[in-house]
Structure 1
Amino acid sequence: MPTTDPIDALVNLRDLGGHPTGNGVVTRQGVVYRSDAPHIDDRAPEHMLRWPPEVVVDLRDSAEVGDREHPLAAVAAVRHVALLEELQDTDLEFDDAVQELTAFYQSIINGASKKLVEVFRIVLDADGPALIHCAAGKDRTGVVSALLLSAVGVRRDAIVADYLHTDRNMFRVLRRLDVAPVLPPGVDEEKVQDLMSTPTEAIESVLTAFAAHEDGALGWLRSHGATNEELRRWHQKFLP
Structure 2
Amino acid sequence: MTSYGRRVTSTRTDRWLHLDGTTNTRDLGGLPTVDGGTTQFGRVLRSDNLQTLSDADVRTLVEEVGLTEVIDLRTTAEILMEGRGPLRAVDAVTHRHFTLLPERGLRTDVFAAEEDDEEIRAQLPADWAESILPRQHAPGDEGEPPAVRSYLGYLTDSADNVLAALRALTAGPGAAVVHCAAGKDRTGVVSALALAVAGATPEAIVADYAQTAEIIDALVAKLASSSTYAEDMTRRDVASHTPRAESMRRVLEVLDQRWGGPVGWLEQHGFGADEQSALRARLRD
Q: Closer, same or farther in 2 for the Cα pair 1:17/1:99, shift >3 Å?
A: same
Residue 221 in structure 1 maps to residue 266 in structure 2 = yes
From 71, 91, 104, the counterpart of 2:86: 71
Partner SS for 2:145: helix
2:43 and 2:283 in contact (8 A); partners too: yes
State how far apart, in whole Å, the 2-side matches of 1:58 and 1:28 are: 22
Aligned positions of 1:94-105 closer than 5 A:
99-105=145-151
Q: What is the CA-CA distance between 1:210 and the residue it aligns to? A: 3.1
Residue 206 in structure 1 maps to residue 251 in structure 2 = yes
State how far apart, in whole Å, the 2-side matches of 1:219 and 1:72 are: 35
Gaps of 5+ in 1: 93-97
Partner of 2:108: none
Structure number with the bigger relative contact order (C-alpha 8 A, sep ≥ 6) is 1
State how far apart, in whole Å, the 1-side matches of 2:275 and 2:61 are: 30
Residue 35 in structure 1 maps to residue 84 in structure 2 = no
Aligned positions of 1:161-200 closer than 5 A:
161-177=207-223, 178=226, 179-180=228-229, 190-191=235-236, 193-200=238-245
Partner of 1:149: 195
From 62, 73, 85, the counterpart of 1:59: 73
Query: Max radius of gyration: which structure?
Result: 2
From 181, 184, 188, the counterpart of 1:138: 184
From 273, 276, 280, the counterpart of 1:231: 276
Higher fraction of helix? 2
Q: More deviation in 230-239 or 156-165?
A: 230-239
Gaps of 5+ in 2: 1-15, 104-132, 139-143
Q: What is the CA-CA distance between 1:237 and the residue it aligns to? A: 2.3
TM-score by length of 2: 0.71
State how far apart, in whole Å, the 1-side matches of 2:273 and 2:201 are: 21
Partner of 1:95: none
Q: Closer, same or farther in 2 for the Cα pair 1:205/1:32, shift >3 Å?
A: same
Residue 9 in structure 1 maps to residue 9 in structure 2 = no
Q: What is the CA-CA distance between 1:134 and the residue it aligns to? A: 0.5
State how far apart, in whole Å, the 2-side matches of 1:48 and 1:155 are: 30
Q: What is the CA-CA distance between 1:72 and the residue it aligns to? A: 1.1
TM-score by length of 1: 0.83
Partner of 1:44: 57
State how far apart, in whole Å, the 2-side matches of 1:150 and 1:91 are: 23
State how far apart, in whole Å, the 1-side matches of 2:135 and 2:61 are: 41
Deviations 1:24-70 (A, max 9, x none): 11111111100110124424186999435210011111121116223
Q: Closer, same or farther in 2 for the Cα pair 1:181/1:155, shift >3 Å?
A: farther
Partner of 2:9: none
Please give the root-mean-square deviation of Cα atoms over the aligned residues, in Å: 2.9
State how far apart, in whole Å, the 1-side matches of 2:237 and 2:198 are: 33
1:136 and 1:181 in contact (8 A); partners too: no
Q: More deviation in 127-136 or 43-52?
A: 43-52
1:9 and 1:44 in contact (8 A); partners too: yes
Q: Closer, same or farther in 2 for the Cα pair 1:103/1:214, shift >3 Å?
A: closer
Q: What is the CA-CA distance between 1:182 and the residue it aligns to? A: 9.6
Q: What is the CA-CA distance between 1:181 and the residue it aligns to? A: 7.4
Deviations 1:81-140 (A, max 9, x none): 111025958468xxxxx8111111111122211111000110122211110110110100
From 92, 96, 116, the counterpart of 2:162: 116
